[in-house]
Amino acid sequence: MINTSYKELLAPLPVSLLCKNMENGEVYANPACLSMFGAERQADTFGNSLVFYDVQSRQPLTAEQHPFSLCNGQDTLHLEVRVKSNFKNLNCRIEGKKVTFDGQPWVVLHVHSLQDNDITGTQTTYSSMANHLAFSRLLSGISSQLINVKTEHLDELIEKSLGAFGEFCGVDRCYLFQFSDDKTSMNNTHEWVAPGVLPYKDDLQNVSSNDLPYFDNTIKTKNVFKIDNVDDLPDEAALEKEEFKRERIKSVLCVAVHINDKLFGFIGCDIIGSPYSWREHDVRYLKLIGEMLSNTLESVTNRVSLQQVTTALEKANEQLAHQANFDGLTGIANRRQFDKSLEKALKRGTRDGKYISLLMVDVDHFKHFNDSFGHSAGDVALQKVAKALDSCCKRTDDLAARYGGEEFCIILPNTNQEQSLSVAQEVMRAMAALNISFEPSLGEGILSVSIGKATQKCDASITNAQLIDLADKALYRAKKDGRNCIASA
């Protein structure tokens, strides 16, 4: 057993000490250390039950990385860690030193809590002021990141903010919940947990308000839910007490979050293992973080809403533009788009000294087709014809348009006589490939078209009307020549 005189030496000291005999492995925690962790009931086993976590990697420090081992290998030690016990988890600064007592090697660790209260739970005016200044700096740093956060980075930054707050206050878990639109259920949307603490975010989805009625009523009516010791919850909070015990929560603090003056959810934090008396500034700090996240969520929500409205308007404008420029039945360009495109092509052709060709296409005996098969079949036939004509437009500037009724046009910029004839012949083949049965047609019992073709060298004297008139006269000759053929102006 450990030398009694050694216990007598350490017991009255007001500093928190952990000591380990490096020969026999005995660990001793003095009363100040036990008190800091609230572990007086397990004095004999407390020291061996501790787990130390690296604050950066959040991984447990074991084997050679354990503070006792580190100090044993380097005489002195200065380290910041998260210490997990069966009672209270604390962020601590450790100062260690190797000593020899009664001829045996010992490592003595001075464990200093980084929370703003000392082992007696009191706080000096100086430490209080320093803590408030430190929190102001933390708040400023979080705020600067949240001001112009992009939507895609919002979730990550919210969890970082929760983590910064959780680490500063030394709590075990910090989280954000969102209520459903009808406020009958809630989801844990963001969560930060200290090293060694079990996360519950995935478990706390679609939680019904009926599952936590006492909490639900309190947070919605009072905007604050503050419990120092869950064992002290009233009888009507039996469901809440059961859930808190499942998560090993001993103390819980939550404040409501509002967006655009409407209840959004709540932000909260937990203490695991032992009760904790929440102080006035704990509540104030959490409210400030909640308000900051609320302002950010409100800004992002409004930004998203504005973007949605803008997108909807853009989509509506696109639909209006499409309706204004494209034929509702066939889906290809309408007469309005045709006129604009032909004028644009003529101007460009004049500037570049190029040829332009125009094909005017008429579906042969289409009135008879409608009378024979009905207007629905006629509409389907026109859709197929339009698709066939559009497929013959190989270049980006080529345009197939419905000119009116069963008449179509194809604009072919920078296209001479020979090239335009090739396109017209391709149109005839495409029509034959449709194989739309129609006995009165001259196209071997299938629906056919007649094509009038006009080609001109562009110059400032040529107008839309003149080129259309040339193609129309050529189409008239094609019809006069027996239809199902091509005629040139």
Q: Where are the beta strands (DSSP E) in 69-133?
A: 76-84, 90-101, 104-113
Among candidate residues 339, 342, 344, 352, the one with its CA nearest the CA of residue 458: 352
Alpha helix (H) ranges present in 185-327? 213-222, 238-246, 280-325
Residues in CB range of 343: below 8 A, 6 or more apart: 464
**Does 426 participate in catalysis according to the annotation?**
no
In degrees rounded to 5, what are phi and psi of residue 474? -65, -40
Work out whether strand 486-488 and strand 449-457 pair parallel, antiparallel, or are unpaired. parallel
Contact 471, 360 (CB under 8 A): yes
Cα–Cα distances in angstroms (integers) from residue 355 to residues 257, 413, 426, 427, 460, in the given order = 69, 7, 20, 20, 13
**Active-site choice (191, 243, 247, 406):** 406
CA–CA distance, 111 with 459 (Å, rounded to integer): 93
In degrees rounded to 5, what are phi and psi of residue 251? -135, 140
DSSP code of residue 237: G
Q: Tell me which H or E stretch contains 339.
A: helix 335-352
152, two tokens: 């895609």
CA–CA distance, 399 with 135 (Å, rounded to integer): 66
Among candidate residues 177, 399, 329, the one with its CA nearest the CA of residue 268: 177
Among candidate residues 249, 17, 32, the one with its CA nearest the CA of residue 121: 32
Residue 14 C-alpha from the chain's centroid: 50
Among candidate residues 153, 169, 162, 206, the one with its CA nearest the CA of residue 184: 206
312, two tokens: 């909807």
Neighbours of 149 (CB within 10 A): 17
Among all residues, which ones are annotated catalytic? Answer: 406
